[in-house]
Chains A and B, each alone.
Chain A
């Protein structure tokens, strides 16, 4: 590569420059242009295209309250707090990283040491009125405890409803019925995460 190539800032080469139609110079040419524009089949192409779409009947309307679009797993809607698979405890270890990283300052948690000197989360709330759903909290969480769900219908009449821990945490009944879905979206482990584990170099 030469310097010339670097200086060429045209990142998409191959533009076709079009100077526009030539203006008619005399009466005969403008007459020809009128005839060309009037008789050209463009109008009928337009008619055909809308008619084809009608015949094809490929309707894109989603009748929202009745039908819903399936959200992508990467969609970042209301957070979910997951439980540990065996002990049924909350996965959250109270590290406070999500609270720290939250750029909207909407996560608040209170922790204490319980009788076994283990850290325990006593209160956890996300102010969804303020949350911008950036996904940093889910990304930073070391335990995959806080993840994003797909529940985007979060209108409420009271601000107090925005961010109750009970709404986010997997209910214990759901969990026991093995209905807790492992998160497959933003910040989740890949499907083949187990295969990719390698022993640290110190071990061998």
Chain B
């Protein structure tokens, strides 16, 4: 049913539709409304789940790890400092092959302290072995939460999934969202039933010591599985689409790229703004397109390569930076493309810096001119100094 609702409410409802058994999270802006709503659902008797109050995000992640190991579908969410405080446990969750669901309300990392949106937090934990999907709008956020459970819990996969949603822009934005019916979700997503679990009647040890003669195989197994997930995303995406009428779960979205001379690449909500710019440019006769990355982990190398192969200029927008190197998306894509193709990397929207229509227009212009690997957009040079000076 279509509703006009706040993003956080929609995401909480999507989590509820998946019937989680255990929810543990620690409040942090801008994620808070999501768990707040879930707690309300439990208090109102609308959701039969155990909500565990924890003292930190490290504990929240540990709690859902244990709950999932005990056979309960488990949900958590976090942002920024919270997510990186979880990071130790995030690696354990993936290593133990527990399909926990996490919603990351993307927010910048300290210091300076900043509560606004960029992608640095989820990018910082990209190597943990989680499936990472980025939503453009709240409809996609809802759909990805539901659809990614199906992949994560597949007996061939058993890996955790992180749905990344832009903090404030999506979490605090109200818009029309088509909420799926419970019975359709029940039909799509069977109960979580792992082949074995933490069970006093059948005791087992989880999270073992992995000596040098076994550890490397555990990483190989995750890598191979994530490669398989690349094939499953379109399949499950189609199944989801047949049932719910939307193709939100996909590896990438190609927006007017077929004949495009300039293609921008980005993730998350900024893709909506870029689409508006693409349409304006097209009206002016400029052949511009957008390649939206939905699945960042696993990264669909071949799909990206083929989508960009005939573009004269590629402009990659990162809301993150590997300080001392380049934007994460840029590094990844640059390495896929031939060295004579003009590929530029742009850093934009850090710490909530608004990405305006003309920011995107400038990016297109710059991508067509000289090649840059790491060009900061909308920089205010008035607040930059060459020397560490007295204030």
Q: Do A and B interact?
A: no
